[in-house]
Amino acid sequence: MDSIKIVGGARLNGVIPISGAKNAALPLMIASLLSDETLTLGNVPRLRDVAQLTHILSNHGVDYSVDGKRVGQDDLKGQTLHLTARTIVDTTAPYELVSKMRASFWVIGPLVARERRARVSLPGGCAIGTRPVDFFIEGLSKLGAQIDIEAGYVVVKAPQGLVGARIEFPKVSVGATHTLMMAATLARGETELVNAAREPEVVDLANCLIGMGAKIEGAGTPVIRIQGVDRLHGHRHAVIPDRIEAGTYAMAVAMTGGDVVLENARADLLETALDVLRQTGADITQVDGGLRVYRNGNGIAPVDITTEPFPGFPTDLQAQFMALMTRAGGQSRITETIFENRFMHVQELARLGARIRIDGHTAIVDGVSTLRGAPVMATDLRASVSLVIAGLAAEGETNVSRVYHLDRGFERLEEKLGRCGAVIERISN
């Protein structure tokens, strides 16, 4: 099992290219099930989750190809996928595939919309929270689907097709918004999604679906309206840059000091997080082709945050921000409102010398002047990169194990940081 070794203390200087957003690429790939024509997606990151979803889609009959490497192509730039679901050969998504990636459950919407039936395994538990699928099931039921739970599978049938309806989410859910928006594109009549997720990844999916011929209004607002159409066609679409990757590297620069341009990063996708980083003392400006993040020798100021759905502070940056706050000059409070079990990185940060205590859904961080390297273990995707950020600033050597979590969501992280001066390497065991 691979690990990452970091020798802390180096400032970061240079350019880091920001990959396409994993959280946008996955629903976009699933949208290929809605049409029998080719969906071409550019700027797709080379990640374990992308490869896994490609395998899952091929199980349903999706043919795929990846553009070959061209002369002079940078391995850190996105790839292009061509996905063609000419014929759906299987409407079952089995447990052995769905259990490896929760987002694969989202195939249930396009499958029942196009084939009028689907049998998809319940995804099971998750390290950072339960993330129930009740909203998905209730929403499909309102669209006229008949639903049964049989031996751990959600069995959905709509013999006459789906019919538009008003669906109000009791709580904002990105996954349910993705899934029901896709399903509604082929439903008869109008569907209204109320209290819908406003994340940029939802907007990116809507824009792609519109390019495929869907009629969608209001993406990026709490109310999305979809007028169903008979069929969708092929399209070419570029995945938006990954706001979480951009925010992560911005925090790494704020932690270590230095001057880095985040190539392709877009400020409009993470304004709240950038405002918070500015409060800590980092200087962030828009430059041609991206964002410049700079911090000189000044200390890190403590800032309190609460995670919220977009446009609030993202839960996917909470662990990274906590790592930053371990070196702040004072006390900060970090409140997690999205996932009930997303403080598992606290004990590992403590191994590096961080002073953190938990009070309910709030972590209270007392900044320390020095972190010291130690062996630590990643517990999930975002927690793993928080340990890397802490290790970059720690004295001595930090070894992060279980980095397969990192490979799910960060493309060639050690190469990108190494190009900017970090002393970091992957150890293959």
The predicted structure's pLDDT at residue 75: 63
The predicted structure's pLDDT at residue 71: 47
The predicted structure's pLDDT at residue 124: 60
Q: Respond yes or no: is residue 420 known to be catalytic.
A: no
Are 207 and 220 in contact by the 8 Å Cβ rule? The answer is no
Backbone phi and psi for residue 36, each to the nearest 5 degrees, phi listed first? -90, 5
Which CATH fold would you assign to the domain 3-19+241-427?
UDP-n-acetylglucosamine1-carboxyvinyl-transferase; Chain (3.65.10)
Within 10 angstroms of residue 356's Cβ, the number of other Cβ atoms is: 19
- 22-238: same fold as 3-19+241-427? yes
Mind listing the pLDDT tens digit for each residue in 354-382?
A: 999 999 999 999 999 999 999 999 888 77
What ranges do the domains of the chain cover? 3-19+241-427, 22-238
The predicted structure's pLDDT at residue 374: 97
Looking only at the bridges linking them, the beta strands covering 146-150 and 153-157 are antiparallel
pTM of the predicted structure, to 2 decimals = 0.95
- Does the CA dihedral 40-41-47-48 come out positive or negative? negative
Which regions of the chain are under pLDDT 70?
68-76, 124-132, 340-341
The predicted structure's pLDDT at residue 69: 56
Mind listing the pLDDT tens digit for each residue in 197-218?
A: 999 999 999 999 999 999 999 9
The predicted structure's pLDDT at residue 100: 84
Active-site entry in 51, 66, 89, 126: 126
Q: 22-238 domain in CATH 3.65.10.10?
A: yes
The predicted structure's pLDDT at residue 382: 75
The predicted structure's pLDDT at residue 135: 93
The predicted structure's pLDDT at residue 129: 40
Are 413 and 13 in contact by the 8 Å Cβ rule? The answer is no
The predicted structure's pLDDT at residue 68: 61
The predicted structure's pLDDT at residue 379: 82
